[in-house]
Structure 1
Amino acid sequence: MTYRVCFVCTGNICRSPMAEAVFHARVEDAGLGGLVAADSAGTDGWHEGEGADPRTVAVLAENGYALDHTARRFQQSWFARLDLVIALDAGHLRALRRLAPTERDAAKVRLLRSYDPAADTGDLDVSDPYYGGADGFEECLEMVEAASGGLLAAVREQVEGRAA
């Protein structure tokens, strides 16, 4: 049974597709491609049907990540098929937990940077780079990469627990 993770930001064109691409690469490198699936969505539908922000695509390509992406809005019904919903900031976390149909579904929602042992626990948001320059996208990628190892370890533990 595939373990499903969905990364969620606001419009699904910057942070969440970046996190999806990085995590997908980590999953493949770990040999878990057939066991773990990652995708992404936005809390709002402003960019539905659009590709990722060109600055996201550029910073990912510069760092060796592939991304084939079309923006979409997160749907409440998805909770039933997802194992983990990863919010990119506290606002997304609150919105997703409010949207969750059950307490069990609300418990599936976690902040990405909570998986980064070096992160400042007082601020676990991945800053939105949309209104800034290229440096904001690079900083976003650094935060995503720093948390992806811990997230992969947690997901691996869940996947191995299912197999046991």
Structure 2
Amino acid sequence: MSENTMDLTIEKLITKDNPYKVCFVCLGNICRSPTAEGIFQYLVDERGLSDFFEIDSAGTSAYHVGESANSNSQRTAKKHGVALHSKARQFRASDLDSFDLILAMDDSNYANIMRLASDKHEDKVGRMRDYDSKPGDGQVPDPYAGGIDGFENVFQIVKRSCEELLNELEEHIQQS
């Protein structure tokens, strides 16, 4: 893991009856966060751990509510065997109580989430690249600026981060 990794505090035992709830958050919930949701779900399924997790994504804006993931995000994910099934929704203050971990794609979305948070939520909100072995500037960049290569770059960043996150969480799963 990178040296800027957040200190993930697991306050509950992860079991089938008590799944760990993760929400990935970007601005519009049509590219970065649905990609993270899809990749994390793929990795969880691949490891046979789907009963232990609830995975979602949201956007800090309401620009695209109800829309599917961007076609370039879908195309890039599909190329890697990952399906993006989510529909865009806006992040709500109630999500801070509902989820065990909320990961923002960049500092701007992190700040938007934290404006809704109280002190009791601080330990459950972090940044996606807190789990990246190559964190760069700590931001998952907006893929639109880089054309189709931008979407591939985001996919690779998010995949590395999701793998590291799942490795850490898997240590806290109690199989019955």
Regarding TM over 0.5, the answer is: yes
* Structure-2 residue corresponding to 1:65: 82
Letter aligned with residue 96 of structure 1:
I
Q: Which amino acid aligns with 2:171?
A: E
Q: Is residue 2:54 matched to residue 1:37?
A: yes
1:131 Cα deviation after fit: 4.3
Q: Kindly state the Cα deviation for residue 32 of structure 1 after the two structures are TM-superposed.
A: 1.1
Matches within 5 A, 1:6-155: 6-100=23-117, 102-120=118-136, 123-155=137-169
CA RMSD, aligned part only?
Answer: 1.5
2-structure distance, mates of 1:158, 1:110: 19
Unaligned runs of 5+ in 2: 1-17
Q: Is the 8 A contact 1:96 1:106 kept in 2?
A: no
Q: Shift of the alpha carbon at 1:117?
A: 2.3
* Aligned residues of 1:49 and 1:72 also touching (Cα < 8 A): yes
Partner AA of 1:119 in structure 2: P
Q: Which SS does the other structure have where 1:6 is aligned?
A: strand
Unaligned residue ranges in structure 1 (runs of 5+): none
Contact in 2 for aligned 1:22/1:148 (Cα 8 Å): yes
Secondary structure in 1 matching 2:50:
coil
More RCO (CA 8 Å, sep 6+): 2
**Which consecutive aligned stretches of 4+ in structure 1 deviate over 4 angstroms post-superposition?**
none
* One-letter amino acid matched to 2:56: D
Using the size of structure 1 for normalisation, the TM-score is: 0.91
- C-alpha change, 1:159 and 1:97, in structure 2 (3 Å) is farther
Letter in 1 for 2:25: V
